[in-house]
Amino acid sequence: MTEGVEWALHCCLNLAWVGPDRAVTATRLAAFHELPPAYLNKQLQPLARAEILTSTPGPRGGFRLAQAPERITLLDVVTAIEGSTEVFRCTEIRQQGPLAGSPELYRDPCLIHAAMQRAELAWRRELAGQNLDDLTVAVSRARPGLPDRVRRWFHEAAG
């Protein structure tokens, strides 16, 4: 998994705290965690394409969450950055070699593939069961003052 997922999740969390009334530039989001702005911007674009963020142009433009935090799951963010390709890639080697049969024998999925898919499904389910609101609540509990400070820092920057 690329570092883009870590960056995207932190940016989404920060945008959840900033709230829907202010747009935040990629440069400002990058400054908050000392990330390379141009490369961070490349991670934010797929989030906009996936309708997790909205991106508005212009001097007061920038990124906002496109939906309420409770409607954006970790799976949404991971899929936007990494795509929905399966981690385990089945190349159907069962169909190769001296005992390989005719194609109709292989209509049902390879059972090794199916077993690996069950594990990926468990992973996706767990990611889908956690949303940005769960994260903001958990962080607010662990560091009570932090959300307000984050909000203020971004609001000052935007204003």
Residues that bind a second copy (CB under 8 A): 1, 3, 5-7, 9-10, 13, 31-35, 74, 87-91, 93-94, 96-99, 105, 108, 111-112, 115-116, 118-127, 130, 134-135, 138-139, 142-143, 146, 149-150, 153
Minimum gap (Å) between residue 67 Cβ and a second copy: 18
Minimum gap (Å) between residue 61 Cβ and a second copy: 22
User: How deeply is 40 buried, as exposed, middle or buried, from its count of CB atoms within 10 A (0-12, 13-18, 19+)?
Assistant: buried
Closest CB to a second copy among residues 66, 90: 90
Closest CB to a second copy among residues 56, 87: 87
Minimum gap (Å) between residue 52 Cβ and a second copy: 15
Minimum gap (Å) between residue 57 Cβ and a second copy: 25
**What residue has token string 């001097």?**
59
Closest CB to a second copy among residues 56, 92: 92
Q: Which long-range contacts (CB under 8 A, 24 or more apart) does 16-21 make?
A: 16/65, 16/69, 16/132, 16/133, 16/135, 16/136, 17/136, 17/147, 17/150, 17/151, 17/154, 18/64, 18/150, 18/151, 18/154, 18/155, 18/158, 19/151, 20/64, 20/65
